[in-house]
Structure 1
Amino acid sequence: MSLSSIAASQSTDSIALVELAKKTRASALRLGMLPTEARNQALEAIAQSLEGATSEILAANAVDCEVATAEGIASALYARLKLNDNKLKEAISGVRDVAELPDPLAVVQLNRELDEGLVLQRITCPLGVLGVIFEARPDAVVQISSLAIKSGNGVILKGGKEAIRSCEALVKAIQQGLQQVGIDPAIVQLLTTREETLQLLKLDQFVDLIIPRGSNSFVQFVQDNTRIPVLGHADGICHLYVDKAADMQKAIAIAIDSKTQYPAACNAIETLLVHHEIAPDFLLAAVTSFQSKQVELRGDQRTLEILNIKPATEADWSTEYSDLVVAIKIVDSLEVAIAHITAYGSRHTEAIVTEDVQTAATFMTQVDAAGVYHNCSTRFADGFRYGFGAEVGISTQKMPPRGPVGLEGLVTYKYQLVGNGHIVASYTGDRAKSFTHRDL
């Protein structure tokens, strides 16, 4: 194929994607005008459609997993890729949970009289069109689509190549559910090629928010190649600090759950910090539990004096394993633990185990992260567990939304001002009227 032919083909593909985005935007405008009941009915239709397509979806996922295994997929990615009946049922349950949530649209956040007959309101409304790019997480299709529909947004999805068959089966079922209740299926679109990803990042006229879900390098690539606002997080380097006043059994249970309940998750711990006064007893008691879960332990020099394990290197403190590996460091104080988290943490989720209320308060105040926990597993950092129904992702940025992003992160607001011939000139000059600024 000649260079001119390749250029023509790329141009044609780009035009096609622009038209797709235009259709999604138009569909989103109509969706955002529908009453709460209509959007909830759409979610129930989607849930039923997914249930009816379960065998087709799981068969598609089985092929994806087989191909990915043959290509040597990493164990962490495989864990995210794999769908089973229970995982799919949980995702479908999440759709119905979203339907039960309060409607985030048309909420009056401010109702203020500026002057008699001049009333200002701030009212929530959809963002418009979401562009969501993710790696090896087919269940994300269900979570994101349900949140988008509930919040009146259109969504353009781009899954990883390893999950293409799974994503196609899921989107097909979702679109069929939408059609059953008379909603344009263009509200949920699926892209399948890398070229489309690059083109999507250029559609700042039609896409209002990009949400990347994947590796650090992947998220950084997205952030560096678009003018569209980006919501998400690059790393999930989470810590658990076991304080000298920790309850031993409680600390072991929390550490095991935080590492092994789902090690591929971004809210699993990668580093275990242990106060030196409790370190010998805690580590000797915990090592059996970790080994029973096939966790590889790596430790600093002080840890190696207690446990016969692999030495940790400097790189371990800044590594997101997403696997059954944990690095252990013994620290002399709460202040040193916080300093380590400040230096190496990703502002995702950090936890402390202690029975000292003041120590816990200091930790939770001084640690800068989207989630800071006391005496519980970091695995609770999840939109479903927070009661959001589901999440489109977790944001570690300082500006809101922060942490697991559910419906509230997918709406914005507009100011609506209604008067009766009011003009600004009436409020200027020597005989200016005064504003009442009265909340109604």
Structure 2
Amino acid sequence: MSNNTDSIEQGVEDAQRAALKLATLSEAQRNEALHAIADAIDSHHEAILKENKKDVRHGEELLAKGEYSQALVDRLKLSESKLESISEMVRSVAQQEDPLEKTLTARHLDHGLDLYKVAVPIGVVGTVFESRPDALVQIAALSLKSGNSVILKGGSEAKHSNRVLYRLIIEATSDIPAGWAQHIEAREEVTALLAMDEKIDLLMPRGSSEFVQYIQDNTSIPVLGHTEGVCHVFVDKKADLQMASDVAFDAKVQYPAVCNAVETLLVHESVADAYLPDIVSRYEEAGVEVRGDEKTQSYVEVEDATEKDWATEYGDRIISVRVIDSLVDAIDHITTYSSKHTESIITEDSDRAEQFMRNLDSASVFHNASTRFSDGYRFGLGAEVGISTGKIHARGPVGLEGLTTYKYHLEGDGHIVASYAGEDAIPFQHEEFDGTWPPTADK
């Protein structure tokens, strides 16, 4: 799209028309297109990496000036192995069960009057996402599989990578209704999108809480927000300390730049003396800066943690550590500072684990597992368009199911409401039955 309101409106109208056609395509047609996207990525590694290097080079220049963080530059980088994982992700989406035309419920209202609740696409989805170029492919793949048209707005820091990936996607899906995927780049185009509440059915911003709040405050389109990940690991007094060390290390170090990496480590005071020296040593050897509260500093020598640290998503090799008096205090700390993304407790006591998991309001709560498992691919969803920290309409990693809604199909035989009113009203049956829409002739 060019940077003017008329072209944006035309593009969104094209997306609307494409969405109607896309919803009628067979699963085989959508899967074939997804495999074509994966093949295109596999066949163009050199071209993709060439464009990606431009973004990384620019990012490193801004890093040197102090305008970018190392974490942001890391998120920008693509490699041969990363591209292989991207195409594998696209094929994984194709292998997922078709989310469309599933009959969610079937109910007899009366003889010959049957109601079906059927899964359908949302329609036109608008997305604004951060620097990771793979996000563009994930979102496009999930939108295609779920029968939705999509407007893609990536960060300017990844513009060269996004352009080449978008071009390959469009070329690979020439048999799919034109206009199903649109790519925009300018901020003014986002502003124009926010006003198109009659044409765009859902907005999915991925970014800071402030950014998501800005989107919510400036549109009447429903917003499914993916905000920051202030994730926690709590090492309980009943924890296996070697397990706790391995999990907390993985949760921070395996990939520090992503939203499901742990940012705060909480440690029960009864195991702090035995646990903290080992995990802090492991962190420091891996280049992680450790910041601790006063109690933590009585066990290990680390930097001071401030009140701001408890609510910060570092997205980098930094972690804040706090020594906690009890399980209840751990729950209270997380309730106060968490972004409701992902929390984990390390304990051998199943009752304490259950208390922790029941009493927290985060989208994902784990027992004896790294927060890094909070991911659409790892959850078996194929991929994700984001991780929703809200409660409506989807929560946690948003995959295919989160990109569908439903509508009701009623099959009758001349039925009228008057028959079910007044003194001689026919009673409704309202009985669930094992049926699917469209119904067979011999129902």
Fold match by TM threshold 0.5: yes
Instruction: Give the Cα–Cα distance (whole angstroms) in 1 for the partners of residues 232 and 209 of structure 2.
Output: 18
1:188-207 correspondence runs (5 A): 188-207=181-200
* TM norm structure 1: 0.95
- Out of 118, 125, 128, the position equivalent to 1:123 is 118
Instruction: Give the Cα–Cα distance (whole angstroms) in 2 for the partners of residues 50 and 20 of structure 1.
Output: 25
User: Per-residue deviation at 1:167?
Assistant: 0.5
User: Per-residue deviation at 1:185?
Assistant: 4.1
Find the counterpart in structure 2 of residue 165 from structure 1: 160
- Out of 137, 142, 145, the position equivalent to 1:147 is 142
Find the counterpart in structure 2 of residue 226 from structure 1: 219
Instruction: Give the Cα–Cα distance (whole angstroms) in 1 for the partners of residues 377 and 102 of structure 2.
Output: 22
- Out of 374, 379, 384, the position equivalent to 1:381 is 374
Cα deviation, 1:354-390, whole Å, max 9, x if unaligned, reads 1111111111111111000011100000000000000
User: Per-residue deviation at 1:139?
Assistant: 0.4
Secondary structure of 2:345's aligned partner: strand
Find the counterpart in structure 2 of residue 29 from structure 1: 20
User: Per-residue deviation at 1:191?
Assistant: 0.2
Q: Which amino acid aligns with 1:92?
A: S
Find the counterpart in structure 1 of residue 5 from structure 2: 14
Q: Which amino acid aligns with 2:402?
A: G
1:267-286 correspondence runs (5 A): 267-286=260-279
**RMSD (Å), alpha carbons:** 1.2
Find the counterpart in structure 2 of residue 424 from structure 1: 417
- Out of 335, 341, 353, the position equivalent to 2:346 is 353
Cα deviation, 1:57-101, whole Å, max 9, x if unaligned, reads 111110011112212321121121111111111111011001111
User: Per-residue deviation at 1:38?
Assistant: 0.7
Q: Are 1:287 and 2:280 counterparts?
A: yes
Find the counterpart in structure 2 of residue 95 from structure 1: 90
Secondary structure of 1:24's aligned partner: helix
Instruction: Give the Cα–Cα distance (whole angstroms) in 2 for the partners of residues 34 and 176 of structure 1.
Output: 18
Cα deviation, 1:314-344, whole Å, max 9, x if unaligned, reads 1111111111111111111000000000110
**Is the CA contact 1:220–1:234 (under 8 Å) kept in the aligned structure 2?**
no
Instruction: Give the Cα–Cα distance (whole angstroms) in 2 for the partners of residues 45 and 28 of structure 1.
Output: 20
- Out of 293, 306, 319, the position equivalent to 1:313 is 306
Q: Which amino acid aligns with 1:371?
A: S
User: Per-residue deviation at 1:184?
Assistant: 2.8
Instruction: Give the Cα–Cα distance (whole angstroms) in 1 for the partners of residues 278 and 316 of structure 2.
Output: 22
Instruction: Give the Cα–Cα distance (whole angstroms) in 2 for the partners of residues 183 and 244 of structure 1.
Output: 56
- Out of 29, 32, 40, the position equivalent to 1:38 is 29
Structure 1 stretch displaced more, 67-76 or 239-248: 67-76
**Is the CA contact 2:202–2:223 (under 8 Å) kept in the aligned structure 1?**
yes
Secondary structure of 1:399's aligned partner: coil
Where structure 1 has 5 or more consecutive residues not aligned to the other structure, the ranges are 1-9
Where structure 2 has 5 or more consecutive residues not aligned to the other structure, the ranges are 434-443
- Out of 244, 252, 255, the position equivalent to 1:259 is 252
**Is the CA contact 1:176–1:185 (under 8 Å) kept in the aligned structure 2?**
no
User: Per-residue deviation at 1:420?
Assistant: 1.3
Instruction: Give the Cα–Cα distance (whole angstroms) in 2 for the partners of residues 185 and 284 of structure 1.
Output: 59
Q: Which amino acid aligns with 2:148?
A: N
Instruction: Give the Cα–Cα distance (whole angstroms) in 1 for the partners of residues 351 and 157 of structure 2.
Output: 48
User: Per-residue deviation at 1:288?
Assistant: 1.5
Find the counterpart in structure 2 of residue 335 from structure 1: 328
**Is the CA contact 2:224–2:392 (under 8 Å) kept in the aligned structure 1?**
no
Find the counterpart in structure 2 of residue 408 from structure 1: 401
**Is the CA contact 2:138–2:384 (under 8 Å) kept in the aligned structure 1?**
yes
Find the counterpart in structure 1 of residue 438 from structure 2: none
Find the counterpart in structure 2 of residue 53 from structure 1: 44
Instruction: Give the Cα–Cα distance (whole angstroms) in 2 for the partners of residues 367 and 325 of structure 1.
Output: 24
Structure 1 stretch displaced more, 69-78 or 267-276: 69-78
Cα deviation, 1:214-269, whole Å, max 9, x if unaligned, reads 22322222122111111123221011100111111100000000011111111111
Aligned residues: 428
Q: Which amino acid aligns with 1:66?
A: R
User: Per-residue deviation at 1:48?
Assistant: 0.9
Secondary structure of 2:227's aligned partner: coil
Cα deviation, 1:107-164, whole Å, max 9, x if unaligned, reads 0111111111111111010000110101211101111111000000000100111111
Q: Are 1:393 and 2:386 counterparts?
A: yes
Structure 1 stretch displaced more, 293-302 or 232-241: 232-241
Instruction: Give the Cα–Cα distance (whole angstroms) in 2 for the partners of residues 143 and 235 of structure 1.
Output: 19
